Structure 1
Amino acid sequence: MTIPSARVLVVDDEKLIRWSVSERLQRSGYEVLSAESGEQALEMLAANPPDVMLLDVRLPGIDGVQTLQRALAENADLIVLMMSAHSTVDIAVDAMKHGAMDFLVKPFPFQALDAAVERAIATARTRRQIAALASERRGGTALEAIVGASSAMEQVRSMISRLGASDTTTVLIEGESGCGKEVVGRAIHFQSARAERPFLQVNCAALPEHLLESELFGHERGAFTDAHAQKRGLFESAEGGSVMLDEIGDLPPGGQAKLLRLLENKTFRRVGGVQELRSDVRVIAATNVDLEQRVAEGRFRADLFFRLNVVRIVVPPLRDHVEDVGALAAHFIARFNSEMKRQVRGVTPAAMELLKAYRWPGNVRELRNVVERAFILHAGVEEIRPEHLSPELRRATPGKRADKLVPSVTPDGLVLDDVERKLIVEAMERASGNQSKAARLLGVSRDTLRYRLKKHGIG
């Protein structure tokens, strides 16, 4: 499976070879550049860096090995595949010694070319992910990324800190879409002893079943149509690190069985493979649905749920820690000031009242989008004012928060059990029957809510 936007530079002084190789790679979906000399290749590398370079050993001017050395001196992450019609052990060893990933002997079958380039592109992708994550970590991506001083966010930070001492524990992160589950997952990884190893993630709802299993576990050549070469999955590429499975509730049955086996035995097989491979990764699963409810419906394996549910972190929706809106807005303003070279000082009190009155159905992600929208549509402003906010935010009424469950005392008094029952019924209605969400609205644990539901006979 070709990685989108992958760019390959073909360097050979023979026009026919440049043309035939370029045509083959373009039909496979790659963007292809070509050069007829080492000097021209180095110029192109500087102007438009590729993911992979196919480099002939014998070239006019500087030869292939010299070109290889200069190219890697400028870009150490470049993947280079050497080509030569003069196959000797000495040439291959020399090329590998200077940093080439593979060596193709001309004339080579196109299947060998396809396999070598696909392996090279997969390696390039993994290196980019690791480099990007290392860069994020240097910029501070552990507990500092968890913004907010509310008790709810302090609890989340406390859980992350405790997990740092146990870097093998499987973690289940629950929370509504946009509330920051990915940020929490990254913080768990970078707070642990695995921080120097890869943190890779996949959205289980974004890919069809056969592609998702291939993405997670890899595949063998010929395992399915278009599987032209063996591919390493995330559990191999993240060896020693962490894999975050977002929307774990949408993992298909086949993937659930394989994941359970990996969690229990630390082993897995590539799609179409028979060899048992070992894996040392921490699994961080995230969901915005009630997994227990899916288990009850027969849509999620109970044994897998119990394996995932070793430590559970519930990330609250923004409406439940609205006191953090100011800190979050300041965080995003600082980020966009840096990215867009602006000098926005903050949010006016009137605009902040509107931000705190809003229910935030899209949670922290929606707040980020609101701040970004103000930056984009209102260039030159020094502060974000009410008129810079979207219409739905301007309609928010300061001082009123309809999402809070607050009982009122009538002139005739009240019966506490009746009040408790009414609040539970209202919470369940607002949460559309989702017990986890209802428990968060009431500020109690799911076990406590279940006890109260049974007590009051609420089905």
Structure 2
Amino acid sequence: MERHSDSYTSVVHDKRLRMDSLQDIIIGNSPSMKAVFDNIMKVAPTDSTVLITGESGTGKELVARAIHANSNRRDNKFLAVDCSSLVETLLESELFGHEKGSFTGALQTKYGFFELANNGTFFLDEVGNLSLHTQSKLLRVIQNREVVRVGDHRKTKLDIRIISASNKSLEELVMAGEFRQDLYYRLSVVPIHIPPLRERKEDIPIFIQYFLEKFCKKMKRPIPETRTEVLEIMQQYAWPGNVRELEHTIERAIILKDNDVICARDLSSFISQKHGEFPMDSDELLSLEEMEKKYISFILRRTRGKKAKAAEILGINPKTLGIKIKKYGLS
């Protein structure tokens, strides 16, 4: 396989883009990713809110970290919170903090995420999963730049930069009445969209080389040769899990290879075109509904019927997936 060392090196050592660590490298030489880099450099010196959109696995948190690392707040805290992982009943306490004795189990005063991130950058990942109740409180914090802990009346002033991200279309959620329009406008002063890997396949060889070097160094193994057929298969595959899926694929191939060469047999059967790849480049003309049905069916097969995982890859909530499964008779 061609190493693509020149383009790989130029991206990793992009002199414009400061990163907190080598683990936070953003890779890409495609025109769409160069536009992302340009937007990062334009917005980083400001305190404007940024909304990063893109499918799961595209690297939204890396972009948020790059914005922070190139901002005037770089020496202060970057705090990332996945809104989908927060329990609704405790979410308010986690975000805004609470006073001792404010509710059952509040044995001591706790600082919320906003206070912990004060003077730095607060990254709200998957902000589309917040309930309307929490959205209203978040809006108030952004507007007033102050927070009140649960069980307290005192206000704490905030000097904070807020970056949010979503793998869902917040515009569609607004139309559906599931996301506040005023909050959407507050969060999306500067929107940055990260394209899926299937739309920037020229970056795939660079990722392959980067992940080979990363994992071989970690495992203290020599970098294997990669057969041309492997690159061709990876270029044709749709990568529904995006860069995260490609990273795991390379790690798996390094572990399971029988010799110093990575061959097609070292790849997951889902990735090989001979074993049921989703036909993104098919000559068959399909309606949008037919394409959606085929793709959902493909993802369900790929995840072995695990609906939660399938919904995550598809970028929709499990309830919506259930409705579509019933609609297309895929159960």
TM-score calculated relative to the size of structure 2: 0.77
Aligned residue in 1 for 2:259: 381
Match of 1:304 among 155, 169, 183: 183
For the aligned residue pairs, the C-alpha RMSD in angstroms reads 2.4
3-state SS in 1 of match to 2:73: coil
**Counterparts in 2 of 1:405 and 1:302: CA distance versus 1, 3 Å:** farther
Rounded Cα–Cα distance in structure 1 between residues aligned with 2:169 and 2:44: 26
Rounded Cα–Cα distance in structure 1 between residues aligned with 2:178 and 2:136: 13
1:383, CA displacement in angstroms? 3.2
Rounded Cα–Cα distance in structure 2 between residues aligned with 1:256 and 1:300: 8
Whether contact under 8 Å (1:150, 1:323) holds in the other structure is: yes
Rounded Cα–Cα distance in structure 2 between residues aligned with 1:213 and 1:346: 51
Aligned residues: 274
1:146, CA displacement in angstroms? 1.5
Match of 1:175 among 36, 41, 54: 54
Aligned residue in 1 for 2:236: 357
Note the 1:110-189 alignment, pairs <5 A: 137-139=20-22, 141=24, 145-166=25-46, 168-189=47-68
Structure 1 residue 221 and structure 2 residue 100: aligned? yes
Could you tell me the percent identity over the aligned residues? 41
Whether contact under 8 Å (1:405, 1:427) holds in the other structure is: no
Structure 1 residue 343 and structure 2 residue 226: aligned? no
1:296, CA displacement in angstroms? 1.4
Note the 1:175-324 alignment, pairs <5 A: 175-324=54-203
Match of 1:349, as an amino acid?
T
Whether contact under 8 Å (2:20, 2:65) holds in the other structure is: no
**Counterparts in 2 of 1:327 and 1:427: CA distance versus 1, 3 Å:** farther
3-state SS in 1 of match to 2:191: strand
Match of 1:403 among 255, 270, 280: 280
**Counterparts in 2 of 1:212 and 1:431: CA distance versus 1, 3 Å:** farther
- Return 5+ residue gaps in structure 1 as ranges: 1-135, 409-421, 433-459
Whether contact under 8 Å (2:84, 2:129) holds in the other structure is: yes
Aligned residue in 2 for 1:74: none
Match of 1:391, as an amino acid?
S
Rounded Cα–Cα distance in structure 1 between residues aligned with 2:181 and 2:36: 26
Rounded Cα–Cα distance in structure 2 between residues aligned with 1:256 and 1:247: 13
1:334, CA displacement in angstroms? 1.3
Whether contact under 8 Å (1:330, 1:346) holds in the other structure is: no
Aligned residue in 1 for 2:14: none
Match of 1:387, as an amino acid?
R
Match of 1:137, as an amino acid?
D
3-state SS in 1 of match to 2:92: helix
**Counterparts in 2 of 1:229 and 1:206: CA distance versus 1, 3 Å:** same
1:377, CA displacement in angstroms? 2.2
Match of 1:219, as an amino acid?
H
Match of 1:388, as an amino acid?
D
1:260, CA displacement in angstroms? 0.6
More contact order relative to length (CA 8 Å, sep ≥ 6)? 2
TM-score calculated relative to the size of structure 1: 0.56
Aligned residue in 1 for 2:3: none
Rounded Cα–Cα distance in structure 2 between residues aligned with 1:187 and 1:157: 9
**Counterparts in 2 of 1:373 and 1:164: CA distance versus 1, 3 Å:** same
3-state SS in 2 of match to 1:202: strand
**Counterparts in 2 of 1:263 and 1:327: CA distance versus 1, 3 Å:** same
Structure 1 residue 391 and structure 2 residue 269: aligned? yes
Q: Structure 1 residue runs of 4+, over 4 Å off?
A: 425-432
